[in-house]
Structure 1
Amino acid sequence: MSLRLSIIVPVYNVEPYLESCLQSIVTQSLSPSDYEVLVINDGSPDGCAAILDRYAQRYPQIIALHQENQGVSAARNAGLDRARGRVITFVDSDDALEPNSLHAVLERFEAADLDVLYTHIQAVDETQQPRGLDWTTGEDNVVCDGFSHPRRSFPATFYRASCVGTIRFPHGIPIGEDTVFNLKVQAFAQRVSYCSLPYYRYLLRGNSATKAVKTDKAYRGFRKALDEIVDFQKAHFLEHKEASHYFDAQLFLFLDRIAMHHLVYSLKASYFNDITRWVREHQKESLLVQLSATYPAIHRPYVVFWLIQHGLRWKQRLRTLLWRLKQYLLPRNKK
């Protein structure tokens, strides 16, 4: 039986937050018979499984799925494989929905006959206080095709199930797998819009994400993302001119992450040569030229890049040293 909506919630090691997340969903004004909540316990080592089973027994719209730990992509894909809703959305298990917001957003999606709908995201801290970040994506209630509308990784994005089709989250991309999924779905979308109604509360948590993005595993994931995007474009949009600009923008996004977190951070010749080779093979040299505005000499030979980046590092260190020296001497001068 088809439902109006499927909400997919991947769960791993979020015991302190899971109950608040689920409670924010089941207390929505949307009729329980209209939607399902597919909550996938990805082998969580804490007490998430017990919380999930308790909620599944109490609320018929919650479906508990348990699997061995395979990663967030596998968890979301398990939800997609079971989803019966005509519309699909995702909620991260440490986030929450604004009270009585779901019905209005779903109505907006259905009334405008959309393929993709981006919704408002408010970042909050552990005490649920707003913390500056306030995500919007496009103009409220303006409908564009997928290549024209701004793009954003979910959460807080609604998708027409038929537009998602067989698209799934890629494995082997630990950071940015949601970007790859989203850009593929939006490429097929004919009607994309943004809804400014308060809907989603995104929890800012202190974690090791900053360190994780600089690892070799993250680099390999970014490289795989580049290949995923190119292969997808070749398979579906090879001769589409508008698509070329769209996919180049997505490639630029991952190249920027590689430049920031790996090329400039580590200055490893192996990373630099690997990316340079990839860019040449796919004739994307223009993207490196664009990146050079932010990362000087990234489009030049490695020796030039290394020398300039080291020079910039020493320049910054000198500035910091002079500033500290000034701060040290200033009180004495006042005496």
Structure 2
Amino acid sequence: MISVIVPVYNVEKYLEECLDSIQRQSYVDIEVILINDGSTDNSKEICEKYCKQDSRFLLTNQENQGLSAARNKGVEISTGEYIVFVDSDDIIKTNYLEKLMQYMAEDVDIVECIFTVKKMEFLDENIETTTIIFEGDSNKAVKFFPHHTLNVNAVTKLYRREIVEAVPYIEGVFYEDVYSGIGMLKYIRKMIKIDYVGYYYRVRLGSIMHREFSPKNLDIFTVCDKLIELYADREDLLPYVGSFLVHLATMHYHSYVKKGNPYREFYNQKLAEYVTLTKKNPDLARASRLIKLYNFCPKYYNSIVFPVYYAIWKLKNGIKEVKVDE
């Protein structure tokens, strides 16, 4: 059985569309664990309606504790051999669970698919293909992560229960997906990613990743440092974790840190620490474009070197800001 865990918090506008997409799954051996995390709108009543209609839906109400606590609670009370997380404002395709289960073999612990932020792309049945774009064990997955083919997202994945239980979500911080998404790779036997677009990820202006800077944005470094602690006993993999953290810290800086931000120097300090990790693998450091850019001029990397490089890269590749659908 698959346990589908849905944390719910003030999403009455989108919740029915999400729950309908779960209820209509072609794979029917499921339980749907709804964790109402202290909603103050009509989300609780909507959840109760689905529980009355369908015995597979189960509702637990709790005071507002945040996304991580809701996910952890869902895992705790779920009973399925496999676990899937769905955010309560997102949608999954009707064959989403069935498709992921097709690739869940005895030695596989995670199956991942592709998400889209464009609803028309999600609804376009003509683009559905299914080929494997990554397959590998723990070592290969961690080393592959800096290539950005695999995602840290909790969603878009089918997990074997033991893997989720091995790395609970850190409670009380933002960016909890980063820790668990990379942390779980330490314990897997094999992971598979397929090119199937089965998940519509709704980007809302009020989401964590689309807010102005606040000190809570510094949680990213709490999460990164905990990842370093987790992989401290794997010196072969730690440089690859460091390489991903260099990318993460760089992009986070350029997303949030504006001129005059009092934390600019702190960002630079943490970036230098992550660069140092990659140098434990000289071949990796030489192969990383960001590391080479950083070594070219560490002092002006964030203020001049990377912004110029990134602007040229976007221009060459015709990259414009992605428009998303409500």
Aligned mates of 2:10, 2:86 — CA distance in 1: 15
- Residues 254-293 of structure 1: pairs in structure 2 closer than 5 A: 254-263=248-257, 265-268=258-261, 270-273=263-266, 275-276=268-269, 279-280=272-273, 283-284=276-277, 286=279, 290=290, 293=293
Once the two structures are overlaid, the 10-residue window that deviates more, 272-281 or 112-121, is 272-281
The alignment status of 1:129 with 2:120, answered yes or no, reads yes
| Cα distance between partner residues in 1 of 2:3 and 2:115 | 19
2:242·2:274 contact (CA, 8 Å) conserved in 1? no
What are the equivalent positions in structure 2 for 1:174-253 lying under 5 Å apart?
A: 174=174, 176-207=175-206, 209=208, 212=211, 214-218=213-217, 220-234=218-232, 238-241=233-236, 243-253=237-247
Give the deviation of 1:214 after TM superposition: 2.4
Instruction: Select 2:19's aligned residue among 19, 22, 47.
Output: 22
Contact map agreement 1:121 1:198 (CA 8 A) in 2: yes
1:47 to 42, 50, 65: 42
Change in Cα spacing, 1:103 to 1:47, as seen in structure 2 (3 Å) is same
The one-character-per-residue Cα deviations of 1:180-223 (angstroms, maximum 9, x if unpaired) are 111111121121111233422222334365652622211x2112
1:145 deviates by 1.0
Aligned to 1:63: 58
Q: For residues 255-296 of structure 1, what are the alpha-carbon distances to aligned partners after superposition, in whole Å with 9 as ceiling and x for unaligned?
A: 224432355x23546441464268459944858993573798
Pair 1:19–1:231, CA change in 2 (3 A): same
Matching residue of 2:319 = none
After superposition, give the CA deviation of every residue in 1:96-148 in whole Å (9 maximum; x if it has no partner). 11123322321321x46411111132323xxx42389xxx9x96165211332
Relative contact order higher in (CA < 8 Å, ≥ 6 apart): 2
Measure the CA separation in 2 of the matches of 1:114 and 1:245.
25
- For the Cα contact (< 8 Å) 1:39–1:64, is it kept in 2? yes
Q: Which moved more, 1:57-66 or 1:112-121?
A: 112-121
Q: Do the aligned residues in 2 keep the contact of 1:279 with 1:285 (CA within 8 Å)? A: no
- The percent of aligned pairs where both chains have the same amino acid is 24
Equivalent AA in structure 2 for residue 272 of structure 1: E
Deviations 1:16-70 (A, max 9, x none): 1111111111111223xx2211111111111000000111122111110111111
RMSD across aligned positions (CA) = 3.4
Please give the alpha-carbon distance, in whole angstroms, between the structure 1 residues aligned to 2:267 and 2:195. Answer: 42
| C-alpha separation in 2, matches of 1:77 and 1:208 | 20
Paired residue total: 288
**Amino acid aligned to 1:158:** L
Equivalent residue of 1:200, what SS?
Answer: strand
| Residues 26 and 97 in structure 2, CA contact (< 8 A), matched pair in contact too | yes
CA contact (8 A) 1:172 1:221 kept: no
Out of 93, 113, 117, the residue aligned to residue 119 of structure 1 is 113
Is the 2:253–2:267 Cα contact (8 Å) retained in structure 1?
Answer: no
| More displaced stretch, 272-281 vs 84-93 | 272-281
What amino acid sits opposite 1:145 in the alignment?
D
Q: Partner of 1:6: helix, strand, or coil?
A: strand
Cα 1:117–1:246 change in 2 (3 A) is farther
In structure 1, C-alpha distance between the alignment counterparts of 2:167 and 2:100, rounded to whole Å: 23
Q: Helix, strand or coil: the match of 1:143?
A: strand
Give the secondary structure class of the aligned counterpart of 1:196.
strand
Letter in 2 for 1:168: P
- If you compute each CA radius of gyration, which structure gives the higher value, 1 or 2? 1
Listed as ranges, the matches of 1:120-159 within 5 Å are 120-124=114-118, 128-130=119-121, 140=132, 142-149=134-141, 150-154=149-153, 155-159=155-159
In 2: Cα distance, 1:37 partner to 1:139 partner:
28
CA contact (8 A) 1:229 1:251 kept: no
Counterpart contact for 1:120–1:156, Cα < 8 Å: yes
Q: Does the CA-based 8 Å contact 2:110-2:158 persist in structure 1?
A: yes
How far apart, in 1, do the equivalents of 2:8 and 2:182 lie? 23
Matches within 5 A, 1:297-316: 297=297, 299-300=298-299, 309=304
Measure, in 1, the Cα distance between the counterparts of 2:201 and 2:214: 25
Matched residues in 2 for 1:95 and 1:231: separation? Answer: 33
- Contact 1:6/1:35, CA 8 A, preserved across alignment: yes
Question: How far, CA to CA, are the matches of 2:215 and 2:292 in structure 1?
Answer: 23
SS at match of 2:64: coil
* Structure 1 equivalent of residue 282 of structure 2: none
TM-score by length of 2: 0.76
CA contact (8 A) 1:36 1:63 kept: yes
User: 1:169 corresponds to which residue?
Assistant: 169
Q: Structure 1 residues 30, 262: closer, same or farther in 2, change over 3 A?
A: closer
